Structure 1
Amino acid sequence: MRPDRFRHFAAIDWSGAAGERHAGIAVAICEAGNAAPKIVRPGHRWSRPEVAAWIEHQMPAETLVGLDISGSLAFADAGAFFPGWPSSPDDARGLWALVERLCADDPHLGAASFVDHPEIARHYRRHGGREGDLFGGGTGRLRLTERIGQAALGCRPTSNFNLVGASQVGKASLTAMRVLHRLDDKLALWPFDPLPDHGSVAVEIYTTIAAIAAGRSAGRSKLRSFAELNAALGALDSKPVRGRGPIDDHRSDALLAAAWLRTVAHAPQFWSPDALTPGIARTEGWTFGAL
């Protein structure tokens, strides 16, 4: 890969919460070099459709953009997203299309209708003690990138089939799949698409990996002060951001992840993890930086 393959690096902290606009969504970007990352539209409360529109229409050319989501569901462990259901999609793009079709009437790119589907609900753990008979118990099913790549870093991944608890990521990932469906053919979505020679590329990120790269432990990955954030940015050879006192971890996650992407984007090993086969790329996807 050319050292100058990407000119900008963006990171998006995502939210699957109900409603139109979300304090939990933050967008940050930085240029090649070591300039401090910046929040895009500071003070703005983003909606999910606005983020999709920004990526498609306003994001600078030749940007590597990371979304803090899971781009797919577990497939390899059972040979299907929803084993035993004849209508289970064959690949991630089919899954995105299914989420979009079932949730077409859900406002604000929500995804509640997806897990309300009687066959799909059997695979999920939901609030109110509702655990589908095919959930499988325990922590739930994990993708290979979660079982191998993230775990190797000391992370404790959460199953996308678990929609209960503060650490659950399933709701956010389902809503993000509607965004991926909209962005398909607008830019490369790695690893569902191969890395192209030019143009912007979107990848799945896990902001804890960025924090670990900056010297934090998985259990101390959240940065809640400008002092902590700037110390982490310094470990990634980035200039500090302006500010004093507390900062919410949505903004700090996005700022740090943008700077981290800048440090690792041109390293070949991040684009070719040993366990990332063509079949895994097509069905489960991968977390960028999980080796």
Structure 2
Amino acid sequence: MRRFRQFACIDWSGAAGEYQKGIALGLCREGEEAPELLSPPGGWSRAAILQWLLDRAADGSDILVGIDFSASLPFVDRGGFFPEWQESPTDAPALWALLDRLCATDAHLAAGSIPFHAQMGRHFRHRRAAETITGDLFEQRMGRFRRTELACRAGGFGHCVSSFNLIGAAQVGKSALTGMRLLHRLAGRVPIWPFDPLPPAGPAIVEIYTSIAARAAGGTRGRSKIRDGGALDRALAALDARAHRPLDRYDDHKTDALVTAAWLRRAAADPILWSPSALSPLIRRTEGWTFGVR
């Protein structure tokens, strides 16, 4: 198992617009140093995150980056991403490429075109103006799940939501779709586990779920969000990290990024997390896996 010298967490956002308050980047190095926030002037955009990751590839940083979005869509349950469509992609990289191509006119790596696609849109629940639109192949009340999401729910790691749902405060579909556009732009430049093998050196990306880190830091279901400095320091201490440098403002995005960066530093040394028992070759190629789900 390889060694990383830096660890980062990107709290992602699929919201409309260029600059996102919901994007935060926490970074820490080996040892026990507290993670710190990286905040460019004007804030983060999805394009700026893409460039930051490309810069890490260019300088060969030994950094493990966790990004909080679903890296693919359900495949195993129905034998395809979009059953009943002959052109449905056969693996995750092909899915990323298709989404990026179909969203070419959507600015800022957005993915607003996808739910209106004649075939793919049949699987999503979304909203147009004030009208809720449920595709005829959207599965019942909750939508379809990847195997890692089912394992996450069954193992008590968190209450994952289907990426085919694009409605409500808890929806994750917009983050997933925009995130997959990001992954397409990184393909071949930064390895993305488990679709790609871990490289012997340089950067690598894993999908993470910040609720797993929050629970490892002492949070409980329904009380995992941190909004003050004292609670943040207690969470960091539980993850063997020193107290943080005070922030000008505390919100869920910033504290999630800091806590999860510290968690990733510790979790990366656990060989079991790199080899979950349910991660079959098919899942590795199509759905991927959330790092930290056993």
Q: Does 1:182 align with 2:180?
A: no
Q: Give the counterpart of 1:53 among 47, 51, 54.
A: 51
Cα 1:102–1:249, aligned 2, differ >3 Å: closer, same or farther? same
Note the 1:186-205 alignment, pairs <5 A.
186-205=189-208
Partner SS state of residue 130, structure 1: strand
Moved more, 215-224 or 30-39: 215-224
Asked whether the 8 Å contact 1:227–1:245 carries over to 2, the reply is no
Aligned to 1:99: 99
**Deviations 1:113-167 (CA, angstroms, capped at 9, x unpaired):** 1221011111001122210000011211000000013431241110000001101
> 1: distance between equivalents of 2:172 and 2:259?
20
Moved more, 260-269 or 143-152: 143-152
Note the 1:113-262 alignment, pairs <5 A.
113-127=113-127, 128-243=131-246, 247-262=250-265
Structure 1 residues not aligned, in runs of 5+: none
TM-score w.r.t. structure 2 length? 0.95
The one-letter amino acid paired with 1:9 is F
Partner SS state of residue 27, structure 1: strand
Cα 1:42–1:50, aligned 2, differ >3 Å: closer, same or farther? closer
TM-score w.r.t. structure 1 length? 0.96
Asked whether the 8 Å contact 2:11–2:68 carries over to 1, the reply is yes
> 2: distance between equivalents of 1:212 and 1:152?
12
After superposing on structure 2, the runs of 4+ consecutive aligned residues of structure 1 that deviate more than 3 Å are none
Aligned to 1:10: 8
**Deviations 1:229-251 (CA, angstroms, capped at 9, x unpaired):** 11100000100112279611100
Q: Does 1:31 align with 2:26?
A: no
Asked whether the 8 Å contact 1:6–1:62 carries over to 2, the reply is yes
RMSD: 1.4
Cα 1:244–1:200, aligned 2, differ >3 Å: closer, same or farther? closer
Report the number of matched residues. Answer: 289
> 1: distance between equivalents of 2:191 and 2:62?
11
The one-letter amino acid paired with 1:89 is P
* % identity of equivalent residues: 52
**Deviations 1:63-84 (CA, angstroms, capped at 9, x unpaired):** 0000000000000100000001
Moved more, 239-248 or 106-115: 239-248
Asked whether the 8 Å contact 1:31–1:37 carries over to 2, the reply is yes
> 2: distance between equivalents of 1:24 and 1:246?
13
Asked whether the 8 Å contact 1:149–1:290 carries over to 2, the reply is yes
